[in-house]
């Protein structure tokens, strides 16, 4: 099992390698992890290498190879818009998807899975759950929750990828900087970072290739904010 920082760094290196083919520098890793010195990065790299998740390539500067990723990665809190702060410790678990008529896993809570939501161009809002997820109760806390599968790549810099599943705590309020499900014109739902700008609402992607939507506040209704993310490898 990896610590939160080890997991964050591993995903950051993996994303950079996929995007550019070159591993990030120690300075870039330090900034991404919010650390004050490169010595902390050296310790994280060594720990990942010892656990077999990365390999240093000999005789090449800035040369790291991701050997494997965790079988399941979960963030018990919302991923930050910058993608570096996943929050909480990484855990592994057996998440079960089932129909309502099936019995949920023992000791778990059942939340509806509403289907796929765009992390790019908004899609038609989803109302009816066609399946359910069984999750550990201490993962999501109190309140009503639902899950959504992600479609699109506009939130990749926040560590949210196509095919991921996000857990949303239902509610009609959120703070600037929260990652939310926003319903636009009562028809289209999208997952974006919320920014309040006076009488307007900005729905901000985490991908420089996508544009921010700025809309009058009365056209946007918050349906909930993200509290967890998990991914199957």
Structure tokens at 84: 């570096």
192 is catalytic: yes
Active-site position among 80, 154, 169, 225? 154
Active-site position among 5, 30, 192, 225? 192
Structure tokens at 135: 């999750």
Provide the 3-class DSSP secondary structure of residue 85: coil
Q: How far apart are CA 233 and CA 230, in angstroms?
A: 10
CA distance to 130, 148, 204, per residue, from 213 (Å): 30, 21, 7
154 is catalytic: yes
Reported as type and span, the H/E element at residue 27 is helix 26-33
CA 135 to chain centre: 17
Structure tokens at 78: 């919302």
- Nearest by Cα to 17 from 56, 65, 50: 65
* Backbone phi and psi for residue 217, each to the nearest 5 degrees, phi listed first: -60, -30
Structure tokens at 141: 């806390």
Q: How far apart are CA 39 and CA 30, in angstroms?
A: 9
Q: Known catalytic residues?
A: 154, 192
């Amino acid at each position: 099992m990896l610590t939160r920082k080890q997991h964050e760094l591993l995903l950051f290196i993996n994303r950079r390698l996929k995007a550019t083919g070159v591993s990030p520098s120690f300075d870039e890793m330090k900034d991404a992890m919010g650390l004050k010195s490169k010595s902390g990065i050296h310790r994280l790299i060594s720990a990942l290498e010892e656990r077999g998740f990365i390999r240093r390539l000999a005789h090449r500067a800035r040369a790291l190879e991701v050997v494997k990723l965790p079988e399941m990665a979960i963030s018990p809190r919302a991923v930050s818009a910058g993608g570096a702060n996943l929050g909480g410790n990484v855990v592994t678990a057996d998440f079960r998807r089932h129909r309502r008529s099936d019995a949920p896993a023992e000791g778990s809570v059942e939340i509806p899975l509403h289907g796929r939501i765009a992390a790019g161009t908004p899609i038609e809002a989803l109302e009816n759950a066609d399946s359910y997820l069984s999750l550990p109760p201490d993962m999501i806390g109190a309140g009503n929750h639902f899950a959504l599968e992600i479609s699109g790549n506009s939130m990749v810099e926040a560590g949210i990828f196509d095919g991921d599943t996000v857990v949303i705590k239902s509610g009609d309020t959120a703070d600037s900087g929260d990652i939310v499900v926003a319903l636009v014109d009562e028809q289209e739902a999208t997952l974006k970072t919320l920014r309040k700008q006076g009488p307007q609402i900005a729905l901000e992607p985490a991908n420089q290739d996508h544009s921010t939507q700025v809309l009058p506040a009365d056209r946007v209704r918050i349906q909930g904010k993200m509290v967890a993310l998990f991914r199957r490898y």
